[in-house]
Chain A
């Protein structure tokens, strides 16, 4: 008997607004506790919420990007519960009438595409944080995050298994960053997912009893948690047990999910329309305005990159990171602006730049942090290096060295090439002499090659490159070596 794992994902994406959803306080992360909490955020007596229009625009932008229906009229409701990090005693959220209804997201499942339906996306405010350490037996409350705008995005239970769930979460992550509504920082909690997991026997059409898994703050944890949870449920069902609907917490240290609360202890939130806020009315004009300023969608961006010659895999990686994509676009503009290049060289340079960005730049981000992306000369440098490679001035091996050098100094690309003598050796005469020397010094490899061991050829190329410290034009070296060996 086989089982089908059914997953729906709820995502809280922090919207990229400067101020909070109902107050003028800043939303910047990492400030000293309670320094970014206004009278409204700490819920002083008499204060009132005022809706941040920017949060509405960003929610509309999301709705348009997923092909959802933008509600012309939506309602803010109060979700009542007591907790110290919820200063009003209620959270302002949307309940019966959310701002976005429906829509869908296409994910890649292997080589196939699968359409995942969205239920809704609604606006709400984030809570503050309780700090349970270092307060002499008491808890501290930091209300800096209280009132930060969130878009809660709810998928239908269309996902089958952990891999699809992760593919969905990653696709959504790329989308919200791509349309610039969320910074996607999972460590800082800007993009948080909960998974609703149930299992059923293959062929069954009714949904099984689900459990909601919280605290999935990385894609890896999401995958592990769903796999653990599905296995747990299957074991219970196979041994004749029943699943209890409950909320469970994933513990990454022990790789298991634990019960937080069952449906029986579910609170009655006493939702009702917030009388402090009028119904949110969205006009056709507002939607049109948002449509006009909609950033390029990730799918469109990937096809555009592919069309200019970037291989699919590289294009996908570039698209997954809005900053890298921006650097690539700037670099492309720089390369296109060089009049000395032939169209073929330009394409070559652009593809080479794309490779540089997804390989060496992303490792630099790992080492140095994302700030490197905003380095003012970054695109120009990458462009110049790619041009030198396409023109044959330097080899792609030397390109890496130049890249490292310009990032850590004020030197120009050409100065580095000059000073370090990295110009590619394309002088046929010089290369012929060099190859002769290498062949003479490596009689064994020559013999091996001639005996049919192709691997020996690469070793010989390596020797030539080594002798020139990577500066020999690899195409020429190949050509000369082969010619001489065939003789």
Chain B
């Protein structure tokens, strides 16, 4: 369980980098 948390955390860090730099929160002209 501890190990699961550790690599889950690494994936979260990586995803944070990717999500900020690729900015898919492009809520373009959301009505």
Q: Specify whether A and B are partners.
A: no
User: Chain B residues in contact with chain A, CB under 8 A?
Assistant: none
